[in-house]
Amino acid sequence: MIASVFGKTRPFNYLAIGILLFVFFILKTLITAETGASWLYFAQEIGLFVIVFASSFLINFIALKNELTKTNNYALLLFFVFLLFFSSYFENKNIIIANFFLLLALRRLISLKSLVSTKEKIFDASFWILLAGLFHFWSLLYIVLVFIAIILHVSRDYRNWVIPFISLLAVTILFFLVNSFLDNSLMSSLLSKTYVSFNFYYFDTIYQRMALALFAAISLFFFVSQIFDIPNKALNMKSSHKTILFSFILGVGIYVLSANKNNGSLAFCFAPLAIIGANFIEKIDNKWIKEIIVYGMIISAVFFYVMQL
């Protein structure tokens, strides 16, 4: 029973997800690779897999370290499931890298509740978000989460409100330094992604539409259930769960605004939704209902992955 297995933190869970993630990632890479692709292409793909792998376990670390979930691996499992729903994520290196940077930022913002090294955490989070914006421009929308976290945790110190702008200065200096070495190619690449697109008719197959529709239904269900559950959370945990909810909303915002839109752009929603979904699943007392939900999501994810190859 998969729900029972992932209902506890076991080394086997990490090994199983790592192996499965590798298999599905490599399969997608081999199918989408051009004929006669060089070893450099596959080396780059392996590097991207390492980032995806690290992202998966970073989500699990955020959830467990900050007690956003109980001692289970549901967040890890759900993130893996969402990746299979939209395997186009595996093909977009900019989204993979930007999403990883946003996860590093989320980790720092969630840990603000400890009230330890708050200024360093705000600077780090802002820095990672601004860096993510160089790979996927509308990732910059995530900077709103920094100010939300400041409001929820450390709003009384006025200096905390200035720190994100110091991070902006640091990233700007680094950007223009690197841009000068690349003959302004970095600037032109960035400017080409700064427009807003509301074109949602990008689907290549009916299965992409179906996957998006089912994912939207699951997201709405998990999100609403979490909103109603917030009052039941421990007082010292409410702000952290609110941060996760806002993170999901901003992830949706990034998808809506993104230029060159595709289902892979929804990846910015995966981490917060995986944590929200883990909260929902762990509350289910009936083990058969829990198993049915988990199996249903896994079967759906594998189906959409295969049909979108």
Beta carbons within 8 Å of 246's beta carbon, 6+ residues apart:
144, 145, 148
From residue 205, how far is each of 208, 224, 262 by CA, in Å?
6, 29, 12
- Has residue 34 got a pLDDT over 80? no
**H helical segments located in the chain:** 2-5, 11-32, 39-65, 74-85, 93-110, 118-132, 143-153, 159-181, 185-191, 206-229, 238-257, 267-283, 287-307
> How long a stretch of residues is the chain?
309
Q: What's the CA gap between 113 and 65, in Å, rounded?
A: 12
**Over the stretch 101-157, which tens digit does the pLDDT of each residue have?**
999 999 999 999 888 889 999 999 999 999 999 999 999 999 999 999 999 988 888
Q: What's the CA gap between 95 and 48, in Å, rounded?
A: 10
List the Cα angle 200/211/249 in 5-degree steps. 65
Give residue 117's pLDDT.
Answer: 87
**Over the stretch 50-106, which tens digit does the pLDDT of each residue have?**
999 999 999 999 999 999 999 899 999 999 999 999 988 988 899 999 999 999 999
Give residue 157's pLDDT.
Answer: 84
Beta carbons within 8 Å of 279's beta carbon, 6+ residues apart:
68, 69, 226, 229, 241
List the Cα angle 13/18/24 in 5-degree steps. 125
pTM over 0.85: yes
Average pLDDT, the chain: 90
**Over the stretch 170-229, which tens digit does the pLDDT of each residue have?**
998 988 888 777 777 777 777 777 778 787 788 888 999 999 999 999 999 999 999 999
Q: Residue 240: which pLDDT band, with cuts at 50, 70 and 90?
A: very high
- Has residue 20 got a pLDDT over 90? yes
- Has residue 33 got a pLDDT over 80? no
Helix axes 74-85, 287-307, angle to 10 degrees: 30
Q: Who has greater pLDDT, 154 or 302?
A: 302
Mean local confidence (pLDDT), 264-290: 93
Give residue 280's pLDDT.
Answer: 94
Mean local confidence (pLDDT), 1-21: 90
> What letter represents residue 258's amino acid?
S
